[in-house]
Amino acid sequence: MKRIEGKVALVTGGSRGIGAAIARRLAEEGASVALTFNGSPEKAGQVVQSIEKLGNRAIAIQADSADAVALISAIDRTVKDFGGLDILVNNAGVLAVGPIDNFALEDFDRTIAVNVRAVFVATQAAVRYMKEGGRIINIGSCNAERMPFAGGAVYAMSKSALLGLVQGLSRDLGGRGITINNVQPGPVDTDMNPGNSETAEMLKKLMALPRYGTVEEIAAMVAYLASPEAGYVTGASLTIDGGFTA
């Protein structure tokens, strides 16, 4: 059953990894999908082609999420090309780790720009077009609640910020029938964070389920939040981490 047939979705950072899986899953559920990318045009094109093979419409838009003008333009183009916007998935994110003594201010600023500011910018632009039943879904991290190793403070802070943003915006948007939630993945097997690395073996020891998650598992939770079945879920941060924070 296609639960979001006829809906329009935009996924930021949708050219690879979790973002690409989300874009494909929303298309499988019936949505037309726009996705943004920054430096992977070939991979973005492959995602578009895979969606078009399903019989759905898809476009890829180059936009650095740290660039507010480009991000707003991507939302405007999605609405222009597809006739509206029903689902926004704020997936784009960056990770910089390092000890506080020499953590570069440039890395700090970009982390906040992409992981926090861009979520606000995209949400503000999107809700101007959304009608009742709109869905905003942010891809956070279980590190918002647990950072078990040194060097991850700035990343954890950026993801923790989304908890407060979502709780507050649920009040702003609830009267308009628009929901907003976070999905907080734990370790997920991607090309940037492979499940068979030395780091992965260390992290698995911290989990109740000693394995990495799959991008499809994260996409399934996003699809649920995008569907009518999740109409009563808002202001929530839903963790999918194999027991990493248990």
Q: Just list the catalytic residues.
A: 155
Taking the CA atoms of residue 142, residue 98, residue 199 and residue 184 in that order, the dihedral angle to the nearest 10 degrees is 10
The answer for residues whose C-beta is within 8 angstroms of residue 28's C-beta and 6 or more apart is 2, 54
Instruction: Look at the block and give the residue holding tokens 């970009």.
Output: 110
Angle, to 10 degrees, between the axis of helix 215-226 and the axis of helix 17-28? 50
DSSP-assigned letter for residue 188:
B
8 Å CB contact between 144 and 159? yes
8 Å CB contact between 158 and 116? yes
Instruction: Look at the block and give the residue holding tokens 């598992």.
Output: 217
Quote the CA–CA distance of 213 and 195 in Å, as a whole number.
Answer: 8
User: Alpha helix locations (H) across the chain?
Assistant: 17-28, 41-52, 68-82, 105-112, 118-127, 153-174, 198-204, 215-226
Q: Comparing C-alpha atoms, which of 125, 131, 128, 133 is closest to residue 68?
A: 125
Q: Which amino acid is at 42?
A: E
How many CB atoms sit inside 10 A of residue 47's CB? 25
